[in-house]
Structure 1
Amino acid sequence: MDRNPVEARAILLTKVGSHSYGINTDASDLDYKGIFIAPKEYYLGFKVIEQKDRGWDEDSDRFPILNGVKDLVYYEIRKYLKLAKDANPNILELLFESPEFYEYVDPIGQKLIDHRELFLSKKIKYSYSGYAYAQIRKIKSHRKWLLNPPTKKPVAEDYELTNKSAFDKSEEKAFITFLWMLIKDRIEYVEEQQELYDLISDRIDFKGVINNNQLPHEFYPYIQNLTQASDRYMDILRRTQEYRKDLYYWKSYQSWLKNRNPKRAELEAKCGFDSKHAAHCIRLVRMGNEILTTGKINVDRRGIDAEELLNIRLGNVSYDAVLAEAEKLFTQLDESYEKSVLPYKVDLDRINQLCMELVEEFN
């Protein structure tokens, strides 16, 4: 679908990001996100669309305010609801913005907002902490690059591998999937481990975690025994994962160098770390605590902690102080989770019913 047909079927459009958090600077871009309901043929026929995040060269007939805006995404309603039910922080905020930031809300969009509590559950702890930890990983990676940048691109020979002896990505992923199935099967039928089984099969994307991270060396003996892999296989797997991890690190560094915002690079050089990521990390964990304890999402941080977050973003808070605050907030998040009266999971039947109602009423 082109831009104008998508926007003609929009049910909600809102400003998001730093401006809606109240921590924007003069260098902050305008970010917008919207939700739309596709025509019937996308639900009853073969056509598929999940989101539209490009093709903004043409002007908007419906929303001239968006002309020239590049940071813009429209989510098809089913895609939006799937992300919202998983407590995606960047998605949930669309339903909890301050009224002044909504550019457009259709009656169907208002009905969705009126049911926003359907998407709040204890899964908030894992989604918000996960996004916050991602910010910390970026902070630490960027700080390493600033203080001790890599000087050489890794090659397979450095790990005593050749292109033929190293596992390709599909082989590595197949082994990880096999490992995941074995672990899951071992837990599933042990009554005492039901909570652990629920944790790795529902509340956390455990398969994704082990698929996207290097297997810890101390786990190799157990993994080998579980999978009955040979010593040679495990040795090649270890070296392949080390090579792929270091190569990814090198490519990420090169991409970072190429795409850095000049003003942001100047700020990083000044304070020694990425202060924008630091501000968002603290914001995310604080919001996670607030949601678990109050059942409310305070997207707009003005009057709450916007000044403090902006101070962090401007590089006026030290690296050690940011990490110490984050550690304290993560500890509080565990306590908030235990005290929270939110349900452990969302009611998928009610969300599915809401989805059908929204689509039927709009079409």
Structure 2
Amino acid sequence: MRDFKRLLDTEEYGFLKEHPRLGKRIILLGVGGSYAYGTDNENSDIDFRGITLNLPSDLLGLTQFEQFEDRDTDTVIYSFNKMVRLLLDCNPNTCEILGLEKEGYLILTELGQELLDNRSLFLSKRAARSFSGYAQGQIRRLQNAIARDSMPQARKEQHILHAVQNSLEDFRSHYESFDKGSIRLYIDKAENPGFETEIFVDASYRHLPLRDYENMWGVMRSVVKSYDKIGKRGQKDDNHLNKHAMHTIRLFMMAIDILEKGEICTRRTREQELLLKIRNGGFRREDGGFAPEFYDILADYEQRLEKASKESILPEEPDMEKVEAFVEKINRKALEV
């Protein structure tokens, strides 16, 4: 890995020392993006991601602070309290900050190390929904950028179904079975001409507020429309499409590690060859679509994630009593900085 620490002493990154919310309040700063994943090339941008302690006025007064961004250097530093909220949801972009290799951390204070030592507090089965949701978003971007038939129709129906269920995070708990009716989505033999299979809905409602009904179907309609858009070739750079495809698989890899092992592994050394092959266009067809082999890999990881979610060693939800005790401990120390 490149020596990124030398950049911290340059004028370009002077804000890290000079900004009143940063400086000695930064407890962790690491490399992000392709350099963190091990999929970088000569064109890769340098991204830094970090965590800074909240000011006493945030904790005891009326000021509010969520994150600092420097667009010129692509640096994002989250406040500790915001980071905790994102970690509790197993947000992929923030989970990866806690899973870097040792040399990936440019700043790591005693409190930063304490956070790394306690990262398991934030891991739960929420990771399955969160990471899968992000991955499905990547797939939709691919589908909107290439021709409709780039993915077999039957496979696309599977992705639409998964995307709908992930977009409605509380779908099962609120809409599948409750005292005003029920709804079930499933795939069966198609009735629409030209389709092999399609998604069907069995729904029954009584006395359901109209706005709840409109909201539920609005989310589903939005997902279906995003998949049905026909992308025009040339609108998206091939390199960007390949990166979307690579990140889709990478997200599944990280989620499976979290669910099966309770570990955050950001750098994908073992799978580096596969990820770089995807990034370098090794699964693209001459017509701009992706080869069936790519979708086979994708289907395999989807199945593995579903299995890992069912058999996970992680709790359904984080232990909030322990999380709150840890957050209070760190914030008490933040008052002394």
Q: State the Cα distance separating 1:362 from its structure 2 match.
A: 2.6
Q: 1:339 to 1:143 in 2, by over 3 A?
A: same
Q: State the Cα distance separating 1:290 from its structure 2 match.
A: 2.0
1:17 is the counterpart of 2:20: no
Q: State the Cα distance separating 1:137 from its structure 2 match.
A: 1.0
1:5 is the counterpart of 2:5: no
Give the distance between the partners of 2:148 and 2:176, measured in 1 at CA. 41
Q: 1:183 to 1:253 in 2, by over 3 A?
A: same
CA contact (8 A) 2:98 2:264 kept: no
SS at match of 1:5: coil
Q: State the Cα distance separating 1:183 from its structure 2 match.
A: 4.7
1:187 is the counterpart of 2:168: no
Question: How do residues 1-363 of structure 1 correspond to structure 2 at under 5 angstroms?
Answer: 4-8=19-23, 9-54=25-70, 68-69=72-73, 71-144=74-147, 183=174, 187=178, 222=204, 225-227=206-208, 257=235, 265-267=237-239, 274-302=241-269, 304-318=270-284, 319=290, 320-363=292-335
Give the distance between the partners of 1:146 and 1:7, measured in 2 at CA. 49
Give the distance between the partners of 1:134 and 1:22, measured in 2 at CA. 22
CA contact (8 A) 2:246 2:275 kept: yes
Q: State the Cα distance separating 1:227 from its structure 2 match.
A: 3.1
Count of residues in correspondence between the two structures:
277
Q: State the Cα distance separating 1:106 from its structure 2 match.
A: 1.3
Q: 1:6 to 1:253 in 2, by over 3 A?
A: farther
Q: State the Cα distance separating 1:338 from its structure 2 match.
A: 2.3
Give the distance between the partners of 1:49 and 1:327, measured in 2 at CA. 41
Q: State the Cα distance separating 1:38 from its structure 2 match.
A: 2.1
2:193 counterpart residue number: none
Code of the aligned partner of 2:134: Y
Deviation by residue 1:73-109 (Cα, 9 ceiling, x = unmatched): 1111110000001111111111111011101011111
SS at match of 1:38: coil
Give the distance between the partners of 1:118 and 1:314, measured in 2 at CA. 37
Quick one: higher RCO (CA 8 Å, sep 6+), 1 or 2?
1
Give the distance between the partners of 2:67 and 2:89, measured in 1 at CA. 17
For structure 2, which runs of at least 5 residues remain unmatched after alignment? 1-14, 151-167, 184-197, 285-289
Give the distance between the partners of 2:145 and 2:97, measured in 1 at CA. 29
Question: Under a length normalisation based on structure 2, what TM-score does the superposition of the two structures give?
Answer: 0.70
Deviation by residue 1:181-208 (Cα, 9 ceiling, x = unmatched): x956962799xx9xx9xxxxxxxxxxxx
Deviation by residue 1:197-223 (Cα, 9 ceiling, x = unmatched): xxxxxxxxxxxxxxxxxxx99769746
Give the distance between the partners of 1:309 and 1:140, measured in 2 at CA. 19
Q: 1:244 to 1:300 in 2, by over 3 A?
A: closer
Larger radius of gyration: 1
Code of the aligned partner of 1:291: I
Give the distance between the partners of 2:67 and 2:327, measured in 1 at CA. 16
Q: State the Cα distance separating 1:144 from its structure 2 match.
A: 3.2
Give the distance between the partners of 1:288 and 1:244, measured in 2 at CA. 23
Q: 1:72 to 1:146 in 2, by over 3 A?
A: farther
2:164 counterpart residue number: none
SS at match of 2:317: coil
CA contact (8 A) 1:108 1:362 kept: no
Greater fraction helix: 1
Deviation by residue 1:16-64 (Cα, 9 ceiling, x = unmatched): 111111001111111111111121111111111111124x5xxxxxxxx
SS at match of 1:103: strand
Identical aligned residues as a percent? 27
For structure 1, which runs of at least 5 residues remain unmatched after alignment? 57-67, 148-176, 197-215, 269-273
Give the distance between the partners of 1:338 and 1:245, measured in 2 at CA. 27
Give the distance between the partners of 1:289 and 1:247, measured in 2 at CA. 27
